[in-house]
Amino acid sequence: MHPQNRPSKMPRAGFTLLELIGVMAVIAILSAAVLPGAIDLIRTQRAVKEGAVLPEIAEALKRGMLREQIFPVYENDFEELTVDNDAYWWNLAARHGGGSANEVLYPLGIRPGPEVKVIRKLYFAKESWSGKSFSEVTGDGLDWLINFQDPTELRLLLISTTNPDLLLPDTLNERRFNRFWEEWVVGSDGDPTNGLPARYGLSNSEWKGRAAELNVQRIDLRDLLCTVVIENRRAIKAEPLMTLNELAVVLPEPSATLASVPINVTHTGFWDRGTVALSYTNLQDAEFIIQARDTTEDLDQNNSLDPGEDANDNNVLDSGEDLNGNGVWDRDEDLNGNDLFDSGEDLNFNGVFDRFDEDLNGNNNGFFDRTAQIYTYVEAVVQTKRGRRIDVTQDATVTIIGRRSFDSPPEPEPEQSITATLILTNRAPLALLNSDVLSAPILLTEWTNADPYIQNRYFLKTQELLLGEPWTSAEVGNCIITEPFSTLRFDGLQWHY
């Protein structure tokens, strides 16, 4: 056969074994060089995305705390199931827009599962807050927040990593918490700028140079707080009174009775007829009336000098000398009408009723010292409208003004006055309503009579204050805190808010 007529050779396909081994070796070398960097790039991208997700979870947590008035349970035990307790922080965030519970709890790229130990973790500045209502933490709103501008308490940390080999501590003590809050910044070498990872409760061996894979989300709750300026003035006392502590239990209805203020000093009862008037000091919008009646000294008309019936203190019943009021001495004017010589009736001891036997003061002048005199007898001053004190540093007083000529007979003295200081109540009671309806209100302390009557307090927005009046401690209103800055004022009569 001619060589030109021979069939051509088939082209060779594939690689030889040696070529395959060479290619695989090259791939292995390249993989060893490139794969760690690729993995690190993926993790870095996840960490960046994680850093963008954490603020959204933080806002969901703040919404939940505000609406439900609680600090969630911050349990960081990975063995706890996400559905076991609705109070866990991830469930609280899930209820208020943070996503599903698993989406909140597990970092991006981490598949949920019972063996997975990498979860986002929440830390409180104070572990004692865990699972408590906000009112249990803040109490009466006084002194628990040391410095509103630079708080040492009202903070949370949400920390995560997307690297399954890097674990977070279950708890942070106060120093490590503060270091995370104040110091954690990624340096050029991938380590914290202040010290080793162990300074923050992390493993030095695991975290050396890996700080960039840690996401720290600071949650500052100051913007949930409201400043409330409370002015609580003392009021004019009225009966019946109840203790402040009764506000924390079942509250009675307000009393509608008027306040009676007796003037408890000597000889306020008798005054010259028609001369009595009343005034008061350091009160605004107050009204008083005088309860008085016209009377002789012999109040019960028994012809004897009973205790309290001697207006001029001469130990003689002057207004009863002329018993029948005819202006002369009659022989039948036996003082008690028993036709016997009783003590004081037979002045000269002659055994008969003489003209002078009926001269009770014994001066034998042959005439009556005075005819029966009518006095104005003041029984009480009734406060028909309480009014309020104008100056809280001064007493409020009520004064009886008039003449008492019998104090220095026979010449009448100028006008005299007797002043009584009105008794004040304790401060009007306030209580903080707990979000747990089964719990009693928390009575606001530091409202004793010696405390300043104007104080600043801090409460969570939407918290509710129970207001009482000081006379019976009855509930008179509820104040829901809605503004960042608000005032609450008891002016001595009523609450203004």
Cα gap 374→35, rounded to integer Å: 118
Alpha helices, DSSP H, located in 157-285: 174-183, 204-207
Question: Are both 56 and 188 inside the same structural domain?
Answer: yes
Return the pLDDT at 304.
Answer: 66
Stretch 39-51: mean pLDDT, rounded? Answer: 72
**pLDDT higher than threshold 80 for residue 342:** no
Place of tokens 């008891």: 490
Question: Are both 249 and 213 inside the same structural domain?
Answer: no
Asked if the structure places residue 61 within a domain, the reply is yes
pLDDT digits (tens, 9 = 90+) for 3-35: 555 555 555 556 677 767 777 777 777 666 655
Asked if the structure places residue 83 within a domain, the reply is yes
Between these two residues, 145 and 320, which has the higher pLDDT value? 145
Beta pairing, strands 475-480 & 375-385: unpaired
Assessment of whether the complete model's pTM goes beyond 0.85: no
Stretch 257-265: mean pLDDT, rounded? Answer: 44
Domain-ending residue, one of 204, 220, 236: 220
**CATH code assigned at 245:** 2.60.40
Question: Are both 67 and 118 inside the same structural domain?
Answer: yes
Whole domain around residue 119: which residue ranges?
22-220
Asked if the structure places residue 491 within a domain, the reply is yes
User: Per the structure, how many domains does the chain have?
Assistant: 2
Question: Are both 208 and 74 inside the same structural domain?
Answer: yes
Question: Are both 233 and 193 inside the same structural domain?
Answer: no
Return the pLDDT at 312.
Answer: 66
Domain-ending residue, one of 174, 201, 220: 220
Asked if the structure places residue 106 within a domain, the reply is yes
Q: Minimum mean pLDDT among 61-65, 79-83, 454-458, 489-493: which range?
A: 79-83
Alpha helices, DSSP H, located in 5-100: 17-68, 89-95
Return the pLDDT at 436.
Answer: 63
Cα gap 250→246, rounded to integer Å: 7
Type of residue at 215? N
Question: Are both 191 and 246 inside the same structural domain?
Answer: no
Question: Are both 180 and 230 inside the same structural domain?
Answer: no
Domain-ending residue, one of 220, 242, 269: 220
Please answer whether residues 320 and 298 qualify as being in contact, where contact means their C-beta atoms are separated by less than 8 angstroms: yes
Return the pLDDT at 239.
Answer: 47
Backbone angles phi, psi at 458, to 5 degrees: -120, 130
pLDDT digits (tens, 9 = 90+) for 372-383: 567 888 877 888
Please answer whether residues 50 and 108 qualify as being in contact, where contact means their C-beta atoms are separated by less than 8 angstroms: yes
Between these two residues, 53 and 305, which has the higher pLDDT value? 53
Type of residue at 382? V
Task: Round the average pLDDT of the chain to a whole number and report it.
Answer: 74
Asked if the structure places residue 11 within a domain, the reply is no
Asked if the structure places residue 240 within a domain, the reply is yes
Confidence of residue 400 (pLDDT cuts 50, 70, 90): confident
**pLDDT higher than threshold 80 for residue 70:** yes
Question: Are both 200 and 245 inside the same structural domain?
Answer: no
pLDDT digits (tens, 9 = 90+) for 269-313: 788 888 899 899 999 998 888 888 887 776 666 666 666 677 666
Terminal-residue alpha carbon distance, the chain: 120
46 token code pair? 């996840």
pLDDT digits (tens, 9 = 90+) for 149-160: 665 678 899 999
Stretch 166-176: mean pLDDT, rounded? Answer: 89
Question: Are both 115 and 41 inside the same structural domain?
Answer: yes
Stretch 182-191: mean pLDDT, rounded? Answer: 66
Asked if the structure places residue 483 within a domain, the reply is yes
Nearest to 465 by CA among 106, 140, 115, 185: 140
Stretch 413-434: mean pLDDT, rounded? Answer: 83
Question: Are both 121 and 96 inside the same structural domain?
Answer: yes
Percent of the residues in the chain that have a pLDDT greater than 90, as a whole number: 17
Q: Is the peptide bond before 169 cis (omega within 30 degrees of 0)?
A: no
Asked if the structure places residue 121 within a domain, the reply is yes
Question: Are both 148 and 189 inside the same structural domain?
Answer: yes
- Angle (CA) 328-334-336 rounded to 5° is 130
Question: Are both 238 and 208 inside the same structural domain?
Answer: no
Backbone angles phi, psi at 145, to 5 degrees: -100, 105
pLDDT digits (tens, 9 = 90+) for 93-142: 999 999 999 899 999 888 887 778 888 999 998 888 888 888 777 777 77
